A and B are shown apart, each in its own frame.
Chain A
Amino acid sequence: MKPVSNTTRIALYLYGFLIIAVLYLPLVSVGFASVSKARYLTFPINRYTSEWMVQAVTSPNVHDLVLTSLKIAVSVTVLSMVIGFFGALAFARFQWKYRNLFQKLILLPIFFPQTVLGLALLIWFSALGIQPSWKTAVVAHLVWIAPITTLIIAIRAYGFDPALEEAARDMGASTLTILREVTLPLLMPGVISAGLFAFLLSWGNFPLSLFTTGVDSTLPKWLYARMVSGYTPQIPALGVLSVVGSALLMTIGFLVFRWTRRRA
């Protein structure tokens, strides 16, 4: 006996397609808005223009925003890959005394509302006398993203055979050599996909950046400020460019991933 009847089956498939359509509908609106010629947006759109896109790409203000977002995302990616690599070993590989407690500590920030975390960090930095800037935003992003990279790499670390490390140790390799020559190469696919996640999550993050970037503004934070104060055609144009950037990176990441797999 099948678990469900054919009618239910078809209904579930249709439901699945409907949900995906609803998930992506707002992006369709943003896409159309970014190429609408009218300054006051109304649908259906009659005349199209690439003016807003060109304006967005050539504006020096936008270059600053992109640069800040990139600085933050790249720092977060590198740091969270390193922290996550070691964290994953403590999470999944080694049997140590406080491992259980450690695993739960890692989960806490993921379960935490990001806006509140951003505010708490703002108070904390002020109490320490640190002026908020893009560097403090890196710390804020790390609190949320490093646990995620740890989990992603941990999935890989659960899957590998500790006997490989033990064999290397029996043949006289030092702990550092084992890490570099055995553990790191084995976990590399996990580390790379964690890095991709880290970059994309940091690039698009807005609730953590809202309070922790100080005078530096990231692309999502600037967009939010503009959205709250009223519509201009620059908002959808920049939104589309930001999404296209992420999509390109994801495609490149995917291709690199497949290419390294084929070689291995």
Chain B
Amino acid sequence: MERLEHRLGFLTGLPIIVLLLISFIMPLFVVAGFAIMPQRVFELAHLPDFSSFAVIWEQGYYKSLLRSLGLAFLTTAILFVVCWPLAYGMAKVFGRFTLVITLAVVLILFVSENIRLFGWTLSLMKGGLIEGHLRAWTGLSFESPLYDWPVIVFGMAYVYFPFMLFPLAQGISLVPDDARLAASDLGASPARILFEIEMPLAAPGIMVGSLLTFVLSAGAVAEAKLLGGRSVVVLTDDVESAFTFGQNWPLGSALSLMLIVIVAVLAMVPISRINLDAIMGRKR
């Protein structure tokens, strides 16, 4: 019986294992291979060198990497603060309203992210939904926040909002009410309860949510293009130009590889710690 289970498990897992090996793991190795090829070659049949990394250093491409990581970090921090109260409400306060919020947030995920970001340019531009109506009704006006870096952070926070909200709500639901009550009875202030009881106990959710939003926004490109115009060049922008206009695959690969390594290291932490059977299979 046990041998049968083992064989069946392997056989049923095989289709997706093959899919991911051929079209996820192997492409990543090819990217790594191109990253150590000489400049502007289109095959892997050359002697490896590290010229791409030298170019990244000398021509300042590392700046766009740092910029992307900085913007991603800011996005994550802002999303954490914005999502915490709502996640708290969903886990502990709302009851049926939690379902309404969950549905509303999941449904918006099915609308292409570029349509939603385009909607923001129409809302925020001079003469757009917000400024246009404000001027028509009150005569007041304001400069458009578009085409600068803060609006890119806003756009990323908007697009990746669900990826922070749901893990946080899941994490907060792990905090037992008794622990809060006990701390409160002993005279702890709300701030102290937040920092010393709730946040440590909700740590798994905080970790998953933060890493997910950080990783996704570090690799984002549409926010910078659609809301930021060409004012801010992010890493994925540089990668794209290296592959298209630049026709320099090794440079593009080396830039992607740096991002991939950072993502892989960060993603390993929650993935290695999560016990999926416990999270998903509560019924058993």
Which residues of A are in contact with B by a Cβ distance under 8 Å? 1, 3-4, 9, 12-13, 15-16, 19-20, 22-30, 32-33, 41-44, 82-84, 86-87, 89-99, 102-109, 111-117, 119-124, 126-127, 139-140, 142-143, 146-147, 150-151, 154-155, 158-159, 175, 200-201, 204-207, 211, 219-220, 223-224, 227-228, 235-236, 239, 242-243, 246, 250
CB distance from B211 to the nearest CB of A (A): 8
* B207 interfacial by beta-carbon distance below 8 Å: no
* B122 interfacial by beta-carbon distance below 8 Å: yes
Assuming the A-B contacts A12-B88, A87-B15, are A220 and B115 also in contact, with contact meaning beta carbons closer than 8 angstroms in the complex? yes
Number of A-B contacts (CB under 8 A): 295
Contacts of A204 in B (CB 8 A): 110-113, 115
* Complex interface: stretch among B53-61, B144-152, B214-222: B214-222
- In the complex, besides A87-B12, A115-B221, 7 extra interface pairs with C-beta distance below 8 angstroms are A12-B93, A23-B108, A41-B122, A86-B13, A97-B10, A111-B211, A143-B19
Contacts of B6 in A (CB 8 A): 94-97
Question: In the complex, A206 Cα to B220 Cα: how many Å?
Answer: 12
Q: Are B44 and A127 neighbours in the complex by a CB distance under 8 Å?
A: yes
What 0/1 readout, one digit per residue, does chain B (7-18) give for beta carbons within 8 Å of chain A?
Answer: 111111111110
Q: Are B16 and A29 neighbours in the complex by a CB distance under 8 Å?
A: no
Contacts of A206 in B (CB 8 A): 112-114, 222
Contacts of A33 in B (CB 8 A): 122
Which residue of B is nearest A227, CB measured?
B118
Q: Are B104 and A12 neighbours in the complex by a CB distance under 8 Å?
A: no
Assuming the A-B contacts A107-B271, A158-B281, are A3 and B92 also in contact, with contact meaning beta carbons closer than 8 angstroms in the complex? yes
Which residue of A is nearest B118, CB measured?
A227
Which of A23, A96, A235 lies in contact with B5, CB distance below 8 A? A96
Assuming the A-B contacts A16-B94, A111-B263, A206-B113, are A123 and B34 also in contact, with contact meaning beta carbons closer than 8 angstroms in the complex? yes
Q: Are B119 and A113 neighbours in the complex by a CB distance under 8 Å?
A: no
Contacts of A93 in B (CB 8 A): 9, 12
Contacts of A43 in B (CB 8 A): 127-129, 131-133, 136
Question: In the complex, A91 Cα to B30 Cα: how many Å?
Answer: 28
What 0/1 readout, one digit per residue, does chain B (100-141) give for beta carbons within 8 Å of chain A?
Answer: 110011011111111111111111000111011100100000
Q: Are A30 and B110 neighbours in the complex by a CB distance under 8 Å?
A: no
22 pairs of residues in contact across A and B, judged by CB atoms under 8 Å:
A12-B94, A15-B89, A26-B122, A27-B111, A29-B129, A43-B128, A87-B13, A90-B16, A107-B271, A111-B212, A112-B215, A112-B267, A115-B219, A120-B28, A120-B260, A151-B280, A154-B280, A155-B280, A158-B277, A207-B113, A224-B114, A239-B112
Main SS class of interface, A = helix
CB distance from B59 to the nearest CB of A (A): 20
* B77 interfacial by beta-carbon distance below 8 Å: no
Contacts of A211 in B (CB 8 A): 240, 243
Q: Are A113 and B219 neighbours in the complex by a CB distance under 8 Å?
A: yes
Q: Are B117 and A26 neighbours in the complex by a CB distance under 8 Å?
A: yes
Assuming the A-B contacts A43-B129, A113-B219, A139-B23, are A3 and B116 also in contact, with contact meaning beta carbons closer than 8 angstroms in the complex? no
* B202 interfacial by beta-carbon distance below 8 Å: no
Give the B interface residue count (CB, 8 A): 101
Q: Are A105 and B93 neighbours in the complex by a CB distance under 8 Å?
A: no
Q: Are A26 and B112 neighbours in the complex by a CB distance under 8 Å?
A: no
6 nearest A-B residue pairs (beta carbon):
A113-B219, A26-B119, A96-B9, A43-B132, A90-B13, A94-B9
Question: In the complex, A82 Cα to B12 Cα: how many Å?
Answer: 10
Q: Are B89 and A44 neighbours in the complex by a CB distance under 8 Å?
A: no
Question: In the complex, A103 Cα to B115 Cα: how many Å?
Answer: 33
Question: In the complex, A88 Cα to B227 Cα: how many Å?
Answer: 39
Which of B16, B31, B117, B216 lies in contact with A123, CB distance below 8 A? B31
Contacts of A155 in B (CB 8 A): 280
Chain B residues 222 to 255 lying within 8 A of chain A, measured CB to CB, are: 222, 225-226, 236, 239-240, 243, 249, 252-253
Question: In the complex, A248 Cα to B206 Cα: how many Å?
Answer: 35
* B200 interfacial by beta-carbon distance below 8 Å: no
Q: Are A25 and B101 neighbours in the complex by a CB distance under 8 Å?
A: no
CB distance from A195 to the nearest CB of B (A): 14
Which residue of A is nearest B225, CB measured?
A228
Contacts of A102 in B (CB 8 A): 9, 13, 17
Q: Are B215 and A113 neighbours in the complex by a CB distance under 8 Å?
A: yes
Question: In the complex, A115 Cα to B222 Cα: how many Å?
Answer: 9
Which of A16, A95, A201 lies in contact with B9, CB distance below 8 A? A95
Assuming the A-B contacts A86-B12, A96-B9, A102-B17, are A122 and B243 also in contact, with contact meaning beta carbons closer than 8 angstroms in the complex? yes
Contacts of A200 in B (CB 8 A): 110
Which of B5, B17, B129 lies in contact with A32, CB distance below 8 A? B129
Contacts of A114 in B (CB 8 A): 219
Question: In the complex, A205 Cα to B34 Cα: how many Å?
Answer: 27
CB distance from B204 to the nearest CB of A (A): 14
Contacts of B252 in A (CB 8 A): 119
Which residue of A is nearest B276, CB measured?
A103
Q: Are B129 and A3 neighbours in the complex by a CB distance under 8 Å?
A: no
CB distance from B264 to the nearest CB of A (A): 8
Assuming the A-B contacts A30-B122, A124-B26, are A146 and B19 also in contact, with contact meaning beta carbons closer than 8 angstroms in the complex? yes
